[in-house]
C-alpha cells in the first residue's frame, strides 16, 4: 500500500498537537483529512466506506433492530469547490448526511454508517465537524473502534436536547463495560458532559486526543474531560454513524420522522501501526520526531465551523494540510476527499 518514495518536505516528521515549543505536545506521523463539504461522489477515492448490514433487536440490545443502508449515507456537497457557505446541492445543510428513517414498521430502523478504510490508527488526535438532528430518538456517534472493549466514543442522544440541557456522552468501552452488559454508564469511563451550545442548531467541532496514558475530549477547542483508566493500546479505525434501536435508556425513539446528522469534515492525525508505513516515515524523517523543524502544528478550531450565516465562508473554511501538496509528501492522500484551495 505504501511506496518507498522519499522527498524532503514540510511536515515530513509529522503533525503536532500544541506547538513544539510548548511544555506539552504530541507528534503524530500520519493524517487522514476529509472535506465532506466538497465530496461529490461517495464511491470515489475518499478514504471512507459506507456500510450495509442488518442487526436483530437482540443483537442491537434494543426494542428494534438496526438496518444500515447505503441510501442512508448521502453526499450533499456545496455546488462550488471554492465556497464554504450556503446550501448543499440537494438543499439544506451541506456535507455528508447520515439518516435515521422514521418508518420502523418492519421492526428495523434504517440508519447510516461510514467507516475509515485506515485500520492502523494507534494513538492520535481525531476531529469532526457535525450538526446533530433536532428530532428526538436517535444516537449520533463519532468514535474510534478496535473491538467492544477498546472503543473511544463521543455520542449524542437527540432525546436529551432541550432549551436547558445539551449533553454529550463521553465513553471508553472497556472490559468493565462488557462485564456490565456493554453499559458503560456505571464505569469510571463514562461522563455525561453538558455543552454550552445546542448541537442541533449549527455545526461544531468535536475532538478526542488519544495518548498512551489518557484520552482527552474537546468541543470547539475547549477541553471537556480526561479519562485515564482502560486506555486502548491496539490499532483501530474511525466510525461515524447515526442510529436508533428504541432503547428507552439510550437512543430512545425510533424517531417519528426521518432524521439527519450532517458532517462537514473529519481530520485525524495519528501514528500508524503498519510496519511498511513506519519504515517509510523513518526514511523521510531520519531524526524521527526529534526533528522539530519538519513538524507542522495542527491548528486548533476554537470557533464553531458553521457554513451558515453572513460569515459562513470564513467560519467553515477550516485548515487542511491536504490542500497543500508540500505538507503531505509521503502521506496517503485520498484525492476525492480534498477540495481545491
Condensed to tens digits (0 to 9), the pLDDT of residues 79-106 reads: 999 999 999 999 999 999 999 999 999 9
pLDDT in tens, 40-80: 999 999 999 999 999 999 999 999 999 999 999 999 999 99
> What pLDDT is attached to residue 339?
62
Confidence of residue 3 (pLDDT cuts 50, 70, 90): very low
Name the class of domain 15-337: mainly beta
pLDDT digits (tens, 9 = 90+) for 145-175: 999 999 999 999 999 999 999 999 999 998 8
Looking at beta carbons, which pairs linking 2-6 to residues 24 or more positions away fall under 8 Å?
Answer: 2/274, 2/276, 2/277, 2/280, 2/332, 3/280, 4/279, 4/280, 4/283, 5/330, 6/280, 6/283, 6/284, 6/330
Residue-level pLDDT at 291: 77
Q: What is the pLDDT of residue 337?
A: 74
Residue 1 has pLDDT above 50, yes or no: no
Distance in angstroms (rounded) separating the CA atoms of residues 20 and 25: 6
End-to-end, the C-alpha distance of the chain in Å comes to: 27
* 289 pLDDT tier (thresholds 50, 70, 90): low
d(CA 56, CA 68): 12
Mean pLDDT of the chain: 94
pLDDT grade, residue 185 (50/70/90)?
confident
- List the domain boundaries for the chain: 15-337
* 93-120 mean pLDDT: 98
pLDDT band at 290 (very low <50, low <70, confident <90, very high): low
Residue 264: pLDDT over 90: yes
Residue 6 pLDDT > 80, yes or no?
Answer: no
Please state, for a pLDDT cut of 90, what percent of the chain lies above it.
85
pTM for the whole structure = 0.94
Amino acid at each position: 500500500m505504501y511506496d518507498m518514495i522519499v522527498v524532503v518536505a514540510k511536515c515530513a516528521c509529522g503533525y503536532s498537537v500544541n506547538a513544539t515549543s510548548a511544555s506539552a505536545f504530541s507528534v503524530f506521523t500520519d493524517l487522514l483529512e476529509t472535506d465532506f463539504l466538497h465530496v461529490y461522489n461517495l464511491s470515489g477515492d475518499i478514504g471512507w466506506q459506507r456500510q450495509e448490514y442488518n442487526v436483530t433487536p437482540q443483537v442491537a440490545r434494543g426494542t428494534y433492530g438496526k438496518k444500515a443502508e447505503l441510501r442512508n449515507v448521502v453526499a450533499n456537497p456545496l455546488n462550488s469547490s471554492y465556497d464554504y457557505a450556503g446550501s448543499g446541492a440537494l438543499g439544506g445543510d451541506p456535507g455528508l448526511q447520515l439518516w435515521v428513517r422514521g418508518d420502523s414498521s418492519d421492526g428495523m430502523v434504517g440508519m447510516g454508517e461510514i467507516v475509515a478504510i485506515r485500520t492502523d490508527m494507534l494513538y492520535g488526535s481525531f476531529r469532526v465537524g457535525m450538526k446533530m438532528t433536532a428530532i428526538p430518538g436517535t444516537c449520533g456517534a463519532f468514535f474510534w473502534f478496535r473491538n467492544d472493549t477498546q472503543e473511544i466514543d463521543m455520542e449524542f442522544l437527540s432525546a436529551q436536547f432541550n432549551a436547558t440541557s445539551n449533553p454529550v456522552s463521553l465513553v471508553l468501552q472497556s472490559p468493565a463495560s462488557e462485564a456490565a452488559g456493554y453499559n458503560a454508564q456505571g464505569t469510571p469511563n463514562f461522563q455525561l458532559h453538558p455543552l454550552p451550545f445546542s448541537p442541533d442548531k449549527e455545526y461544531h467541532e468535536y475532538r478526542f486526543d488519544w495518548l498512551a496514558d489518557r484520552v482527552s475530549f474537546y468541543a470547539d477547542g475547549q477541553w471537556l474531560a480526561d479519562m485515564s483508566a482502560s486506555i486502548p493500546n491496539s490499532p483501530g479505525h474511525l466510525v461515524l454513524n447515526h442510529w436508533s434501536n428504541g432503547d428507552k435508556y439510550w437512543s430512545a425513539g425510533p424517531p417519528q420522522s426521518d432524521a439527519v446528522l450532517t458532517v462537514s469534515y473529519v481530520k485525524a492525525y495519528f501514528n500508524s501501526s503498519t510496519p511498511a508505513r513506519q519504515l517509510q516515515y523513518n526514511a523521510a524523517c531520519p531524526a524521527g520526531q526529534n526533528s522539530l523543524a519538519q513538524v507542522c502544528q495542527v491548528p486548533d478550531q476554537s470557533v464553531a465551523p458553521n457554513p451558515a450565516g453572513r460569515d459562513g465562508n470564513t467560519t467553515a473554511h477550516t485548515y487542511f494540510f491536504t490542500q497543500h501538496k508540500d505538507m503531505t509528501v509521503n502521506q496517503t492522500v485520498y484525492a476525492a476527499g480534498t477540495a481545491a484551495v
